[in-house]
Amino acid sequence: MWWFYRKGPSGFAGASTAEEVTAGIDGRGLVAVITGASRGIGRETARVLALRGVRVVMAVRDVSAGVRAKEAIQAEIRGGAELDVLELDLSSMASVRRFAAEFASLSLPLNILINNAGVMARDCTRSPDGLELHFATNHIGHFLLTNLLLENMKSACRDSGVEGRIVNVSSSGHIMTYPEGICFDKVHDPSGFNSLIAYGQSKLANILHMNELSRILKDEGVNISANTVHPGVIVTSLFRNRTIVSALMNTVGRIISRSVQQGAATTCYVAMHPQVQGITGSKYFGNCNIANTSSQAVDAELAKKLSNFSLQIVSS
């Protein structure tokens, strides 16, 4: 797999690790929120950002797992690491609002928001709010979280002069969606949905979310970038509810997949590297370089329609 080691314009490749792409970067004084930070690439992202001096707030559904991850990271990093663990269930808008309130009680500025958590369910079930679960967890939860934390990020970048960065973790699976891209009429009725297609729809929504947000922030003159990344094929707990997919990942996937350390590299690169300064809007990164998306992912009208639709949901 020679292409995996071929470096792109950034100087990094698919084989680069999160530690390698952040080497020499000083994150002291910065604060980051990372969703899904108790395991997989979320945990590795939290570890590497903490290693670089960033204070990390780990937003996790399972608090006990989050505490164990926090303690393991702190035990590993010499000189200590600043980490906080707060509960967050992205499938529930009430939980997202509670998290935002708890984060506000910490009286911390927010410089980096990494919307990393995701679900790949076996069936298209409903969220506590009555939405199709993939769309609710992977998109609406992060959409609401971003909106609730955005004023803090705006204040932080104004006060510090440091660019804020928002990173959505999407997937190349965004190409596996419905012909219309987002099936708005069925988000409240998951019957008849194919779970893999529903997952792809939610990953497309992650990209469209950042595209429209970056446009809005540019128009407002706010120094916050909004970008999306594809971490690559990684054997993580994301596939635990998909028996067939999990079996494939544990056989063929072992040959083509990358490690968690490599999978977290693009997220950490976009969140921290100086090369990404000022880059925002319709930008999708893979292997720590700008990559291509589907035509639906750069549809500005679809992005605006999704944003308005999502606002209606979180406001109802």
Residues annotated as part of the active site:
199
Residue 309 falls in which region: left (phi positive, over 0), alpha (psi -120 to 50) or beta: alpha
229, β-bridge pairs: 169, 285
Q: Rounded CA gap, 134 and 147, in Å?
A: 19
Q: Which residues, including other chains, have CB under 8 Å from residue 314's CB and lie 6 or more apart? A: 93, 140, 143, 144, 147
CB 180 within 8 A of CB 153: no
The 3-state DSSP class for residue 90 equals coil
- Sheet with 164-169, strands from edge to edge, namely 83-87, 55-60, 31-35, 112-115, 164-169, 224-230, 284-286, 289-290
How would you label 184-216 residue by residue, b for 16+ Cβ within 10 Å and e otherwise?
eebbeebeebebbbbbbbbbbbbbbbbbbbbbe
What does each C-alpha distance from 172 to 10, 209, 233 come to in angstroms?
20, 16, 9
Q: Rounded CA gap, 242 and 166, in Å?
A: 29
The 3-state DSSP class for residue 25 equals coil
Query: CA dihedral defined by 281, 268, 169, 32, rounded to 10 degrees?
Result: -90
Structure tokens at 271: 């969140």
